[in-house]
Amino acid sequence: MSAILHACGLKVRFGGLEAIGGVDLCVRAGAIHGLIGPNGAGKTTLLNALSGFVRLAAGQLRFNGHEIAGRRPDAIAALGLSRTFQNIRLFGAMTVLESLLVGAHRQFDMGAGAIVLGSARSKVAERAMIGRAHMLLDFVGLGADTAARVATTLSYGQQRRVEIARALMSSPQLVLLDEPLAGMNALEKQEIATLVRSVRAQGTTLLLIEHDMQIVRDLCDHLTVLDHGKRLADGPPRDVLADPAVQAAYLGRGR
C-alpha cells in the first residue's frame, strides 16, 4: 500500500535541546501505526511536528500528496489530518455535541448571510452534522444522554472518547492519537482498541502513541520506536519488539 504520510529528516529544536533529531517516518494508508519510546523520547513532539503545532527546524513532510512542512495546523487539518492530545483538550463550557460540531468545522461552508437569514441550506447542513455527531457518539460508545452534557464534566474515560469522536468528525484520512489508552483499566483499553480497529475498518489510517506493549503488539501493523529524538527501530511489531536495542533503551529505563 502507498504511504499516506511521509516524513524525512525531521528536526525540532527547543532552544538548545534537539527534541527530534532527524527522524524518518512512513505511515502506510490503512495502517494502524504505533509510535513508542520511553518518556521524553519525543513522541508527542513528533506528533506536534506532523500536525504543524511545532516549527520544523529541518526536514520534509508529505501528507496525502501535499508538502505540509511549515504549514499552519489548521491548514494541515483541512487536508484530512486530525488529532487528539496527550492531556485531553476539550473545549470548556461547551457541550459534547457542540464540541463535536467544532470538529466538523471544515464541513460547513455557508456564508454569514445564509446563517443570519437562517437559509434552508444552512439548516440542512447543521442537521446533517448533528446527525453525524450523534452517530459518532454512538460509535465511540457514549450514550445519547451525554450529548447535552458539558464535555469537561464527564469522566476521564468518557472525555477520551469525546476527543476521539471530535477528531473523527471531519472524516479525516489520518488520525493521530496521543496515548489514547493512558489511564484506562484493562476493559476500557480493550474497548478503545476495538474502536481503533473499527475506525481503520472504515478506511481511516491511524498513528498512535502507546506504552502498553501487549496492546501495541496486538493492535498495530507497524511500529516506530523513538529514543532521545532519534528513530531507534522501525518495522512490524514482532521484529521491532524483539530488537535488543529497543529492549535496552525502552525497558532499561522503563523500570
Ligand X SMILES: Nc1ncnc2c1ncn2[C@@H]1O[C@H](COP(=O)(O)OP(=O)(O)OP(=O)(O)O)[C@@H](O)[C@H]1O
198 touches another protein (CB under 8 A): yes
Name beta bridge partners: 225: 36, 233
152 touches another protein (CB under 8 A): yes
**Grid cell 457541550 — which residue?**
95
**Grid cell 527534541 — which residue?**
19
Taking the complex as a whole, the smallest distance from the CB of residue 103 to ligand X amounts, in Å, to 23
Cα(127)–Cα(101) distance, integer angstroms: 11
Sign (positive or negative) of CA dihedral 88, 91, 97, 102: negative
Taking the complex as a whole, the smallest distance from the CB of residue 227 to ligand X amounts, in Å, to 9
CA neighbours closer than 13 Å in the CB half-sphere of residue 138: 7
Picked from Mg ion, ligand X, another protein, none, the partner binding residue 37 (CB below 5 to 8 A depending on kind) is: ligand X
- Mask: binding to Mg ion, 37-76, rule CB under 5 A, as x and -? ------xx--------------------------------
Q: Indicate which single residue of 44, 45, 122, 158 sits in contact with another protein (rule: CB under 8 A).
A: 122
Q: Indicate which single residue of 44, 158, 159, 170 sits in contact with another protein (rule: CB under 8 A).
A: 170
Residue 34 and residue 223 in contact, taking contact as beta carbons nearer than 8 Å: yes
Taking the complex as a whole, the smallest distance from the CB of residue 43 to ligand X amounts, in Å, to 4
Taking the complex as a whole, the smallest distance from the CB of residue 163 to another protein amounts, in Å, to 9
Query: Which grid coordinates belong to 249?
Result: 533503551
Site for another protein in 48-107 (CB under 8 A): 51-53, 55, 72-75, 77-78, 80, 82-83, 85, 89-95, 97-98, 101-107
Neighbours of 180 (CB within 10 A): 23
String of DSSP letters for 29-59: TT-EEEEE-STTSSHHHHHHHHTTSS--SEE
124 touches another protein (CB under 8 A): yes
DSSP type of residue 36: E
Cα(178)–Cα(30) distance, integer angstroms: 18
Question: Could you list the residues that contact another protein (CB under 8 A)?
Answer: 51-53, 55, 72-75, 77-78, 80, 82-83, 85, 89-95, 97-98, 101-108, 112, 115-116, 118, 122-128, 130-132, 134-136, 139, 144, 147-148, 152, 166, 168, 170-173, 198-199, 202-204
